[in-house]
Amino acid sequence: MGFSDIIEKIRERKRERKEMFKQMEDQVRMQELIEERKKSANERELNRFLKEQREENIKEQLTDFRKQRQFDIAHNHNPLDVKNITNHTEWNVLKERNLFSGKSNMFNQGSILKNNNKLLKGGMKLIKWIG
């Protein structure tokens, strides 16, 4: 049995299932049609109105549930209550004292070009051109 035979069997089973499903749908449709014809005209009209009303109620409830879900997503999630890395951690690194407190800022020490006599270009200091 080759690969093409396996594929063909799968296709055949799919076709059979599709045909069986169609037949079952037809049976259900015929049964509903017979039951509808047994009812009087007034009863059919009443059922139609009840069905419309039921659909409207379902639609209203669905919009209410969607609004509630959107509200929950937008407002009921408080990020301050969520466990995060800074205030609820087991790591000791974040609980140690600041190693850099009391030390000078390395970015605030001025320019390395200022008052540097080794930086010459054509006999003139580079500082004069920069600022």
pLDDT at 48: 95
Q: Cα separation of 126 and 131, whole Å?
A: 9
**Backbone φ, ψ for residue 118 (5° rounding):** -80, -15
Evaluate if residue 131 carries a pLDDT over 50. Answer: no
Given a cut of 60, whether residue 127 has pLDDT beyond it is: no
Contact 125, 119 (CB under 8 A): yes
**pLDDT of res. 76:** 79
CB 107 within 8 A of CB 120: no
Q: What is the pTM of this model?
A: 0.44
pLDDT of amino acid 96: 74
- Is residue 127 within 8 A of residue 113, CB to CB? The reply is yes
The amino acid occupying position 92 is N
